[in-house]
């Protein structure tokens, strides 16, 4: 089977899953949060070293205030439990996104990243207050500042230099993107990094997405032909 280094997931369908069961959307988000740990363990067991999950986008602030508050409360609790999980499972956790807009979570985020920084198990990235365009904009601003101060020559700007200014610096680009709950778009997620990523869309909502469906996605990926712009021999 083709080796996968990095899986990215868009966690979608928490609210619709709960509604289909006659339950409040908040319950769906709570069950979705529990499933994060299940899939982290499954990815690690499968020998895949990197996993990135889209937990809260820059656009999610446009949801009803009550729902946003519920999600923030869940994230606060998750950060606390994730600290224990990271220690227990030797997991390194990094948060990508504009954490300056998450002042209430920033201390927990920084502490989680600090205490897990030397761990050598699964590399788990959580995208919070994240948007691909926002990430690229922040990177361009940093590069422009370095050019204006003379610490970087504009002729030295390469794809590698730009990558080094992104939130995902040092992390390989995703091999496979999984999006749950049937939607077939990437929703401003890892726009730079997914230039050659294979996409897998499943109708199964995130709270119901288990190890079996994860393996189905990986098996589908194994049947893909990643050409990176080349022509297949014999064609």
- As annotated, the active-site residues are 12, 60
Tokens of 73: 């409360």
- The string of pLDDT tens digits covering residues 201-210 is 999 999 999 9
Task: Name which CATH class applies to 6-131+173-222.
Answer: alpha beta
Residues 26, 69: Cα–Cα separation, whole Å: 10
Check residue 225 and give its pLDDT.
80
Assess contact for 86 and 92: CB atoms under 8 A. yes
Domain boundaries along the sequence of the chain: 6-131+173-222
Contact, 102 vs 69, CB < 8 A? no
For residues 233 and 37, give the distance between their C-alpha atoms in angstroms, rounded to a whole number. Answer: 42
Q: What angle do CA 111, 61, 13 make, to 5 degrees?
A: 90
For helices 25-45 and 65-89, give the axis angle rounded to 10 degrees.
20
Residues 84-141: tens digit of each pLDDT: 999 999 999 999 999 999 988 999 999 999 999 999 999 999 999 999 999 999 999 9
For the whole model, what pTM was predicted? 0.92
d(CA 31, CA 41): 16
């Amino acid at each position: 089977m083709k080796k996968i280094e990095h899986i990215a997931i868009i966690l979608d369908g928490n609210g619709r899953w709960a509604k289909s069961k006659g339950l409040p959307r908040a319950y769906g988000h709570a069950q979705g949060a529990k499933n994060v740990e299940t899939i982290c363990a499954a990815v690690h067991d499968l020998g895949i070293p990197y996993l990135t999950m889209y937990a809260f986008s820059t656009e999610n602030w446009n949801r009803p205030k009550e729902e946003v508050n519920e999600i923030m409360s869940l994230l606060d609790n998750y950060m606390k439990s994730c600290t224990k999980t990271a220690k227990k499972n030797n997991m390194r956790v990094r948060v990508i996104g504009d954490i300056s807009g998450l002042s209430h979570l920033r201390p927990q985020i920084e502490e989680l990243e600090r205490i897990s920084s030397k761990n050598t198990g699964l590399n788990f990235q959580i995208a919070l207050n994240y948007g691909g365009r926002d990430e690229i904009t922040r990177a361009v601003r940093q590069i422009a500042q370095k050019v204006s101060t003379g610490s970087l020559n504009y002729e030295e700007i390469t794809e590698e230099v730009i990558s080094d200014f992104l939130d995902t610096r040092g992390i390989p680009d995703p091999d496979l993107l999984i999006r749950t709950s049937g939607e077939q778009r990437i929703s401003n997620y890892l726009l730079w990094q997914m230039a050659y990523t294979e996409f897998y869309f499943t109708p199964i909502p995130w709270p119901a997405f288990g190890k079996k469906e994860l393996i189905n996605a990986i098996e589908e990926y194994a049947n893909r032909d990643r050409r990176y712009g080349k022509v297949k021999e014999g064609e």
